[in-house]
Amino acid sequence: MNTRVFAYDTTLRDGSQAQGISFSVEDKLKIVRKLDELGIAYIEAGNPGSNPKDLEFFQRLPEIKLRQARITAFGSTCKVGADPAQDSQVASLLSVDTPAVAIFGKTWDYHVTAILRTTQKENLRMIRDTIAYVKTKGREVVFDAEHFFDGYKANPDYAFKALAAAVEGGADCLVLCDTNGGSFPDEIYDITQKAVESFPGTQIGIHCHNDCELAVANSVRAVQAGVTHVQGTINGIGERCGNANLCAIIPNLQLKLKYDVIPTENLTRLTPVARFVSEIANIEFNDKAAYVGGDAFTHKGGMHIDAVKKNPVSYEHIPPEAVGNERKVLMSEVAGRSTILGRINQIDPSLTKDSPETRAIINRLKELEHAGYQFESAESSFELLVRKMLGKFKPSFELTDFKVIVSEPSPHGANSSAMIKIRVEGEDEITAAEGDGPVNALDKALRRALYRFYPELREMKLTDYKVRVLDSYSASAAKVRVLIESADSSGSWTTIGVSNDVIEASWRALVDAIEYKLAKAREEN
């Protein structure tokens, strides 16, 4: 029987303090559902009294049928000198029906006198009385001991008195917070161990921040010192350098140290949940992230690739499937010919690494990489490139010309229109379309022109469109890289275009997307 450690997610509360993060009520509800499915034990979701959005969220929460997670409202102790039963902030915290409530309080003597501007004794009363009052309402109470480690380093006696006040008030869990993120794994271990030993009847938890890039290590060391409650956020989002990253802590504890954090069968949900939260939060997903990142099991160096092919354990610390991730092997200069050859052989199995065709493809690849192309994430464009260079590609249409016009003020709703003339097997087609912006207009016009010849394009959709400025110093004439993801009922594919002009780059990626779809359709027939 492994030891149970309770995962406590604060993505929606502390995580939402990060620069650029702002969750709608709808976003929050979606994330709660995902975290519950993942098996997160506690979801800290905000303070119903802090703003109307959080209040609406708590009111709509019953829409979701939770499997197991306990929703937690977050607030502070009562004000200096106040009776918790009369304190408006405490009242708002209790105004919604959550099974658990987190109360944070000061444990660093400096903060008590300099920031709260009260006496050490009054601060202890505020902690004790607030928790006692919330307990009378039948809630589970988590006490967040703010700045506990800094407080302990400054005045260990007072920091422990604050914990003791929380225990006297009836707190169910004491969470030791490294609020400023400045503590080190050895300190965290030693101080946490003292707390665990001093309050044997009470659950102890940990809450770390990543200001020294040590939050995951600190959380893991705290568990090794005896805590059974770990706070963090998905992808480590949070103020400044972020909170402790649950997407690394959970597999570290569960796969490596054999604690029970979430149901084992749910571990494969970790990568999808990480991507989901990143999308909802509208922040770029960190492909370098441990366990869940797109590059976490990506091999590029030729020697590494050879060894991984022999046995993945040679350069992988866990099987990627364990956390719902996957292995990738990249093409590029460094990847060496054998990897690229593997891809080429999917199209022409007769070629070897010394064939002149192979060399020509590798040279062209290098030229294009130099010009800003990155085929690592646009394998469909790479496949088309190989087909073209091997004479195994017949374009489905020729562009005669297009013209895109953007007008301001816009005469109708859409401010852009595109006119396009193409030729398919000797037949001309000319069409036009309006759109939101030039790329959208061009995309619509091109499809409209092609539907007559290739009705199968109707089932293809553009599902993602990304623009990356490559050399932003050239300002508005900068080179841009466009990645387009398309999908049909059988799967998705990504294509690329690079140009000084966003429309031209988009056009190239668009043409590749369509050609790839048509090549695929021809093969299936």
Residues in 343-372 at the binding interface with a second copy, rule: CB under 8 A: 369
Does position 192 interact with a second copy (CB under 8 A)? The reply is no
Q: How many CB atoms lie within 10 A of CB 231?
A: 29
Residues within window 24-43 making contact with a second copy, judged by CB under 8 A: none
Could you count the other beta carbons within 10 Å of the beta carbon of residue 200?
A: 8
Quick one: which of 84, 151, 236, 497 contacts a second copy (CB under 8 A)? 236
Choose which of 26, 428, 436, 459 interacts with a second copy (CB under 8 A): 436
Contact criterion met (CB below 8 Å) for 331 and 350: no
Site stretch for a second copy (CB under 8 A), options 62-70, 160-168, 191-199, 233-241: 233-241
Tokens of 17: 């303090």
**Parallel, antiparallel or unpaired: strands 173-178 and 480-488:** unpaired
Say whether residue 277 binds a second copy (CB under 8 A). Answer: no
298 is a site residue for a second copy (CB under 8 A): yes
Min dist CB 305 to a second copy, Å, is 11
Out of 123, 278, 495, 499, the residue judged to bind a second copy by CB under 8 A: 499
Q: Lay out the site mask for a second copy across 117-156 (x = CB under 8 A, - = otherwise).
A: ----------------------------------------
Interface with a second copy, residue 491, by CB under 8 A: no
Does residue 408 touch a second copy according to CB under 8 A? yes
Minimum separation from the CB atom of position 390 to a second copy (A): 25
Neighbours of 23 (CB within 10 A): 23
Examine residue 464 and tell whether it contacts a second copy (CB under 8 A).
yes
- The Cα-based distances of 209 to 217, 246, 257 in angstroms read 11, 12, 22
With residue 468 as reference, give the H or E element that holds it: strand 461-469
Q: Which of 25, 212, 347, 390 binds a second copy (CB under 8 A)?
A: 212
For tokens 């006119």, name the residue.
419
* Burial of residue 349, with CB atoms counted within 10 A of its CB: 0-12 exposed, 13-18 middle, 19 or more buried: exposed
Query: Quick check: 161 binds a second copy (CB under 8 A)?
Result: no
| Residues 304-333, interacting with a second copy (CB under 8 A) | 304, 307, 310-311, 313-318, 330, 332-333
Q: Which of 70, 125, 221, 229 binds a second copy (CB under 8 A)?
A: 221
Residue 305: how many other CB atoms lie within 10 Å: 20
Closest contact distance (angstroms) between CB of 66 and a second copy is 26
CB of 94 or CB of 214, closer to a second copy:
214
For tokens 């790839």, name the residue.
Answer: 516
Q: For residue 178, count CB atoms less than 10 angstroms from its CB and return exposed for 0-12, middle for 13-18, buried for 19 or more.
A: buried
- Pairing mode of beta strands 491-499, 480-488: antiparallel
494 binds a second copy (CB under 8 A): no
Backbone angles phi, psi at 65, to 5 degrees: -90, 105
Cβ closest to a second copy, residue 116 vs residue 164? 116
Taking the CA of residue 186 as centre, how many other CA atoms within 13 Å lie in the half-sphere pointing to its CB? Answer: 0
CA dist 336 and 362 (Å) reads 9
**381-400 positions binding a second copy, by CB under 8 A:** 399
